[in-house]
Amino acid sequence: MSENFNIDDISNLASIELSEDEKAKLQKDLQIILEHVDALKNIDVKDQKIDIHPLSKVLELRKDESKESLKHEDAMMNSPETKDGHFVVPPSIE
Amino acid sequence: MNLKATIGMETHVELDTKSKMFCSCEVVETDEPNISVCPTCLGLPGALPVPNKTAIEYIVMLSLGANCNITNEGMFHRKNYFYPDLPKNYQISQFDFPVGVNGFLEIVLDEELHSVEIERVHMEEDTGKSVHIGSGRIDSATSTLLDFNRSGIPLVEVVTKPVISTSKMAVAYIEELRQLVIDLGISKGKLEKGNLRFDANISVANEDSNELGTKVEIKNMNSLKSLEKAIDYEIMRQSKQIEKGESVIQETRHWDENKQVTISMRTKEGSADYRYFSDPDLPNMIIDEEFINNSKKNIQNLPLDKRKTLKESGLSLSDSNYLDKGDKWLYDLYLSTVENTKDSKSTFNFLTGELQGQMRKAEIDELPDWVDSEKISNLINLFETNEVSFTSAKDILAKLLGEDIDPKSYATDNNLIQSSDDEEIKTLVTSVINENQDIVERLEDPEDKLVGFLVGQVMKSSVNKVNPGSVKDILLKELFG
């Protein structure tokens, strides 16, 4: 997979514009990281339990009971602009 | 070129819990904005999510109802994207360890059973609502108003494999899923309230090809009718493009209800765009056998079970499918009525045709207290045994919906009981034949349409008090021997 790695895709995903020089440097650096990951792939883990979360603690669940929320005025107090009980933000159309 | 369409459905089900998914704010239905919000569902820094146990029970029930395997050790991921209705800049969702995997839902199309494979059932949270204000056109909005009452309401996403081939099949699937969540008691399942929201992934490819075509996601369909129309339109649009030799672009399109077309919104994100990573605030979620068994206790009489019971009563698959998707009272009334009438088809037709029709006309949502299966089955038996005509049965039903009457006594008191006395009918027939000699002379055979006219004349002279079947038999005997 690492040989198909494309620095343009990564810069696009991260929304960071890169110069040609930076691309060349990062291409090299990230390639080294991917090679490390490739090395990990060779480790035999078939008898290992999958560790899917960094914490070993188990999730605590809460009873479905509603409690008092923030007062409306408190919820809105830090908003620079409000209108009819709404937060107002610049137009954002997908 | 023969083309085939492949459709996969993604459906969000809003769970009917008292409080939100990761905080204790009440789930409210109100137009008053931002009254049920707290630091967690407003995405304020430092607020920590604590999952709602009932929501997890509900998603386990839904996964079991959709015949999925349950992931015993699951986890939550952050799905990162920037949009003002999601103030944390990520949605808590699930990625590679969803609660339910590899299930199926059985659906009915006409008289055939199909299985729609379910890829995954995962837990997530809803976003806030945005309203764009300005000069009227959405793209010239001057600002966006935000209401976070909906933010954090538990949502379950149910994703099918790309196994659906027509719009009708997609609609049948949504109807089945909707009934499942209603019967499980985990969601109100109202499409018009947004309790169920669906997107369709559609691709078109050559019929002989083993590979799928380019996937286009269609959003903004808020009724089953718009789902059906949007899918049909999109299959046609992609097919035309392929036939012209053009390639289909992978993108998200928006169904425009007014123009009845799909419109390009944006190029479709891949999962890499969302930069999923495990949510460090939420440790592993263990769903053990005890939790699953406790959730199972709440599952009973699902659409599949109801369909089986209805089929065993003698109904066809499509009639069973109609009743298992209907109101519970109608399903119960059918089963108790058919026990007395022993005639499944006639009972089904009378309840779904006459009874529901008259209730709609009278704008009644619920049966009056005094209307029970005994009275309805007595009424069905009255016209099935030809004691009253079907027209009279409809009149009796109308009366019964308005006041507490006994159908048989009402029919007797109001002179609606039909005569099956052959001698009486013969007298009426003879008199009609004598009065209509010109017509009798024109009759060519027993199939002649004029026979129907003469039967009508006899019925008229009896004021509908005789059985039309007996009249026809006696009339034909008199005319043709």
Domain spans, chain B: 3-294, 327-413, 422-480
Distances (CA, A) of B84 to B81, B129, B425: 10, 9, 80
Restricting to B residues 285-324, those with a Cβ less than 8 Å away from any Cβ of A are: 285-286
ipTM: 0.79
When pLDDT is cut at 50, 70 and 90, the band that residue A1 belongs to is very low
| Structure confidence at residue B139 (pLDDT) | 62
The class level of CATH for B422-480 reads mainly alpha
- What is the value of pTM for the model shown? 0.84
| Structure confidence at residue B441 (pLDDT) | 84
**Torsion over CA: B183, B184, B190, B191 (sign):** negative
Contact yes or no for B35 and A69 at CB 8 A: yes
Q: Which residues of B touch A89 (CB under 8 A)?
A: 84, 143-144, 146
The answer to whether A67 contacts chain B (CB < 8 Å) is yes
- Domains in chain A (CATH in brackets) are 2-41 (1.10.20)
Q: Please, are residues B437 and B479 in contact by the beta-carbon 8 Å criterion?
A: no
When pLDDT is cut at 50, 70 and 90, the band that residue B314 belongs to is very high
| Structure confidence at residue B273 (pLDDT) | 81
pLDDT above 60 for A94: no
Contact yes or no for A85 and B52 at CB 8 A: no
Size of interface A-B (CB pairs under 8 A): 127
| Distance, CA of A70 to CA of B40 (rounded, Å) | 11
Q: What is the pLDDT of residues B69-90, one digit of tens each?
A: 999 988 999 999 888 999 999 9
Q: What is the pLDDT of residues B401-435, one digit of tens each?
A: 999 999 999 988 988 887 777 787 888 888 888 88
The answer to whether A15 contacts chain B (CB < 8 Å) is no
- Distance from B371 to chain A by nearest Cα, in Å? 39
The answer to whether A66 contacts chain B (CB < 8 Å) is yes
| Structure confidence at residue B107 (pLDDT) | 96
Q: Which residues of B touch A66 (CB under 8 A)?
A: 18-19, 24-27
The answer to whether B35 contacts chain A (CB < 8 Å) is yes
The answer to whether B95 contacts chain A (CB < 8 Å) is no
Of B17, B97, B266, the CB nearest to A94: B266
- What are the DSSP E strand ranges found in B207-350? 216-221, 251-256, 261-267, 277-278, 285-286
Mean pLDDT of chain B: 91
Q: Please, are residues B338 and B313 in contact by the beta-carbon 8 Å criterion?
A: yes
pLDDT above 70 for B369: yes
pLDDT above 90 for B260: yes
Out of B35-44, B120-129, B137-146, B216-225, which region has the weakest mean confidence (pLDDT)? B137-146
Alpha-carbon torsion angle B352, B354, B360, B362, nearest 10 = -150
Rg (C-alpha) for chain B, rounded Å, is: 30
Q: Residues 6 or more apart from B328 whose CB is under 8 A from it?
A: none
| Distance, CA of B466 to CA of B429 (rounded, Å) | 11
Q: What is the pLDDT of residues A28-72, one digit of tens each?
A: 999 899 888 889 888 888 888 777 666 777 889 999 999 999 999
Q: What is the pLDDT of residues B103-118, one digit of tens each?
A: 999 999 988 999 999 9
Residues of B453-478 as b/e, b for ≥16 C-beta within 10 angstroms? ebbebbbebbeebbbbebbbebbeee
Token representation of residue B47: 């607020």
| Structure confidence at residue B270 (pLDDT) | 72
Q: Please, are residues B344 and B334 in contact by the beta-carbon 8 Å criterion?
A: no
Select the residue from A55, A56, A64 to test the B interface by mutation, using most B Cβ atoms within 10 A. Answer: A64
Estimate to the nearest angstrom the gap between the alpha carbon of B372 and the chain centroid.
26
By DSSP bridging, strand B112-125 and strand B154-160 are antiparallel
* Closest Cα in chain A to B147: A86
Q: Please, are residues B162 and B7 in contact by the beta-carbon 8 Å criterion?
A: yes
Out of B42-46, B322-326, B476-480, which region has the weakest mean confidence (pLDDT)? B476-480
* Closest Cα in chain A to B266: A94
pLDDT above 60 for A79: yes
- Which of B26-40, B125-139, B440-454 tops mean pLDDT? B26-40
| Structure confidence at residue B137 (pLDDT) | 58
Of all residues in chain B, what percent carry a pLDDT higher than 90?
Answer: 69
Q: Which residues of A touch B33 (CB under 8 A)?
A: 84-86
Token representation of residue B473: 């038999």
Q: Which residues of B touch A11 (CB under 8 A)?
A: none
Q: What is the pLDDT of residues B14-27, one digit of tens each?
A: 999 999 999 999 99
| Distance, CA of B83 to CA of B104 (rounded, Å) | 34
Of A9, A69, A93, the CB nearest to B26: A69
By DSSP bridging, strand B196-206 and strand B69-70 are unpaired
| Structure confidence at residue B37 (pLDDT) | 98
Contact yes or no for A13 and B283 at CB 8 A: no
Distances (CA, A) of B136 to A73, B132, B141: 29, 9, 7
pLDDT above 70 for B165: yes
Select the residue from B17, B19, B279 to test the A interface by mutation, using most A Cβ atoms within 10 A. Answer: B19
Q: Which residues of B touch A70 (CB under 8 A)?
A: 37-39, 42
By DSSP bridging, strand B251-256 and strand B261-267 are antiparallel
More confident residue, B234 or A48: B234
